Amino acid sequence: MPELVDRFGRRHTYLRISVTDRCNLRCLYCMPEEGMKFMDQDRLLSYAEIAEVVEAAAERGIRKLRITGGEPLIRPDLDRLIGRLASIDGIEEIALTTNGLLLAPQARKLKEAGLNRVNISLDTLDPARFRFIARRGNLEKVLEGVRAAAEAGLNPIKLNCVLLKGINEDEIETFLRMSVEQPLHIRFIEYMPIGHDDAGWRNHYLPLGRVLETARMKGYELEAASEAPEGSGPSENWRIRGAAGTFGLIHPISDHFCKNCNRLRLTADGHIKPCLYWMDELNVRPALGSREALDALLDRAMAIKPENHEMAALLAGEAQSHVPTERRMSQIGG
């Protein structure tokens, strides 16, 4: 079968799979404090349906999977899905993005099912600030999840920190110090306007150049990470000389990485999204049961994938060439 190559010559090997839009947090950059109208459970793709899509995608060159949400560990028996996906010919790696609250009791069985590694969202190391950003939950539960992931061998462990101007930018040095003292990989991420373009985003967006400025101001000697942690994707990776871990910068707005994009997304309700930011998506349900139809759908995704997302144009107040999605990040599985 031909590989998944779009109009711009980008070869796609990576599929992100959302298994739910529900979450046990209400992070201020992801969804409104009052929550959202969540999907009825019968709208979610079943594990068998997800596996069918992955089987078709793997025949076309998809090698890496990431399970996301919402919060994916809310979905019952997630280890059963991991085991099924791990058995598909061609799949080489399965990763999980989680907020960590439910990870500690599940880490070992997920590893045994075939999960390779985890990314854990952690925007602050201050308990009170955690409650402010996440609007609920317990920081210590997340840290327990980090420890359990390490004990289960879900390495490398990456901590995803969304930087928010005026909220957690004063913790940049604290996270950098974590990368020195522990074999963790801190990934600073720019706040993206997915599903909303409002004053909150504009007021709290912070370019990631601030991280390098802070590191140099603190006297850290930086070197490009010669061996990026597995699955680094678009991250610009650095190491503080002598550090046990690394830190990375994911800056989709100030320095977008669209020219190297190799990913597709499958939403929890069964839509292929060629691009996280734009509205375009393709419903897989009518194609289920037919490998020919699924192949045609994947070909269509390659045909409509845009060259880039133009979030920087939005920040500058410039016109955009496509229609941005109205889905929030938790509804897409960013």
Confidence check: pLDDT of 258 > 50: yes
Closest by Cα among 79, 155, 149, 151 to 110: 79
Q: Which residues pair with 175 in a beta bridge?
A: none
Average pLDDT over residues 115-137: 95
Q: Is residue 143 scored above 60 in pLDDT?
A: yes
pLDDT bracket for residue 232 (50, 70, 90): very low
Convert the pLDDT of each residue in 149-176 to its tens digit. Answer: 999 999 999 999 999 999 999 999 999 9
CA distance 28 to 89: 39
Q: Which domains does the chain have, with CATH numbers?
A: 14-332 (3.20.20.70)
Average pLDDT over residues 136-156: 96
**pTM summary value:** 0.88
* 8 Å CB contact between 232 and 93: no
> How many Cα atoms occupy the beta-carbon half-sphere of 136 within 13 Å?
10
Tokens of 332: 């897409």
Map residue 67 onto helix, strand or coil: strand
Across 165-179, 287-301, 303-317, least confident range: 303-317
